[in-house]
Chains A and B, each alone.
Chain A
């Protein structure tokens, strides 16, 4: 196993995460979003497992298993259940200006790369690249959260953002396992809170379109 090949595979997997983030931004069907999110988590698990292999850090395998179990299996299944119960599984979301969102996403990706590469000059190549791509994934997750109106897609945006954080954390060596486990659990807690909120929103407003909440904001009058 040469170093170049190890780097290439890490590059492939991290680049794959950015690509799947774009797929998430592009999707407008609820089922498509959930499928893309599952893929996102699978690529994350593969990327983390590869990092564990090349860094010879066995605890990262645990992170990969957590990513696989929670992010790729439990959360998508739970989201599917929620979507079914809310009756929006066939809904097509009206995303405002796919083209504009994609352009913004490309700009954010370029920004992330231009910001991270110069400031991490002396670091290891794999870590630099993982940091650049994870920042891109985080920014794309944020972009998804602010461009979507459906609360479920916003949750998916949040979860994909968190995937980006894990990617960055595994690239930088020496992240303690206890931090990763606690992050994983806090995301799970956040997910439960989100789920409860979804049903509350739905109960009160008969929709999960968060525009309905705007009426109750003070500044709009």
Chain B
């Protein structure tokens, strides 16, 4: 019986991240449009886009290899697995022991690798540009992410996300400058990884500076739907990650009881909504930076992560 409840709880998370991801994307778009005094698309538009794309035929380039056709499924599957394993509404779900923060970074790295290969597969110049830029950003974002993981591991004594959130929920933490630095660094990495505004512009595919959109330019139909869904899931994953580590309030832990889980679910949705609105406000208030300055931006994240680790190391050394 307990096993069935555990399985159901894990299944609920898998279903709910997939169901909510396009809504989150829609919310960010609506808030951005309203801030620009446009009416904007309805909040459910991403669902409609996905359904429409799923019904459409796939148009393949003549020289597309099998890699080009399999990559979208791989990207979607890997991102979905990663998103399902970040604690969202409850701690210690059935599969959460199998994956820690570093493994989630690795899963996302796998998805990125597949996407970059697919971007270069057809041989158009845009795909190549996008892939090379994506790799440049990744090569700076991943070390920063690992340093954040080290900070959290030093802090909580584990790299398991459930363990970190449980530590933050139950222990007396006090005032920790390292956590603040890690939080800022994680936000910067999340912005870069999701191609949000100062790094990349998700709203356009007609710019020479685009990164993500350049790689997926050749995709159509259900392949494009899968890639769009994966992008939404990735945004949801990063916001959940920030919420799980730095705002763990209200998450259900211990015994599976309906009321705490319901409360955890509501708290999680509220946190996602809040972070989504903040993201939209941030994106509206800042200009996109030149591609060559992304290095400085992520170098800042790397530095903050390293400084956080160092400071924590000092206070632990006492």
Contacts and interface: CB of A to CB of B under 8 A. Distances in A.
Contacts of B95: none
28 contacts: A5-B174, A5-B175, A7-B315, A8-B174, A11-B175, A11-B314, A11-B315, A12-B175, A12-B177, A15-B311, A18-B307, A19-B177, A19-B181, A19-B304, A22-B303, A98-B296, A102-B299, A102-B303, A105-B303, A106-B310, A109-B307, A110-B310, A113-B314, A117-B317, A125-B318, A128-B318, A129-B315, A133-B314
A132 interface: yes
A99 to B, nearest CB: 5
B313 A106 contact: no
A195 to B, nearest CB: 32
A15 B318 contact: no
A26 interface: yes
B129 to A, nearest CB: 22
Interface of A: 4-5, 7-9, 11-12, 15-16, 18-19, 22, 26, 98-99, 102, 105-106, 109-110, 113, 117, 125, 128-129, 132-133
B136 to A, nearest CB: 13
Nearest to A133: B314
Most buried by A among B175, B178, B181: B175
B295 A4 contact: no
Contact of A132 (B174, B181, B306, B314): B314
A106 B307 contact: yes
B288 interface: no
Nearest to A19: B307
B176 interface: yes
B300 A109 contact: no
B315 A113 contact: no
A11 B296 contact: no
B314 A8 contact: no
Given A8-B174, A8-B176, A99 B296 contact: yes
A61 to B, nearest CB: 22
Interface in B259-318: 295-296, 299-300, 303-304, 306-307, 310-311, 313-315, 317-318
Nearest to A106: B306
B303 A106 contact: yes
Contact of A8 (B175, B304, B307): B175
Nearest to A109: B310
Nearest to B299: A99
Interface of B: 174-178, 181, 295-296, 299-300, 303-304, 306-307, 310-311, 313-315, 317-318
A110 B310 CA distance: 7
A102 B303 CA distance: 7
Task: Tell me the interface secondary structure of chain A in the complex.
Answer: helix
Most buried by A among B175, B311, B315: B311
Contacts of A98: 296, 299
Contacts of A129: 314-315, 318
A18 B295 CA distance: 22
A187 B177 CA distance: 30
Given A19-B181, A19-B307, A22-B307, A4 B318 contact: no
Q: Name the 4 nearest CB pairs between A and B, nearest first.
A: A8-B175, A125-B318, A15-B177, A12-B177
B315 to A, nearest CB: 5
A106 B303 CA distance: 7
A9 B307 contact: no
A139 B315 CA distance: 20
A40 to B, nearest CB: 15
Contacts of B314: 11, 113, 117, 129, 132-133
Contact of B300 (A8, A26, A113): A26
A84 to B, nearest CB: 27
A11 B313 CA distance: 12
Contacts of A113: 310, 313-314
Given A98-B296, A106-B306, 8 more contacts: A5-B174, A8-B175, A15-B307, A16-B177, A18-B307, A18-B311, A106-B303, A129-B315
Contacts of A106: 303, 306-307, 310
Contacts of A9: 175
Contacts of B318: 7, 125, 128-129
B294 to A, nearest CB: 12
Contacts of A16: 177
A12 B177 CA distance: 5
Contacts of A26: 300
Contacts of B315: 7, 11, 129
A128 B175 CA distance: 18
Nearest to A22: B303
Contacts of A132: 314
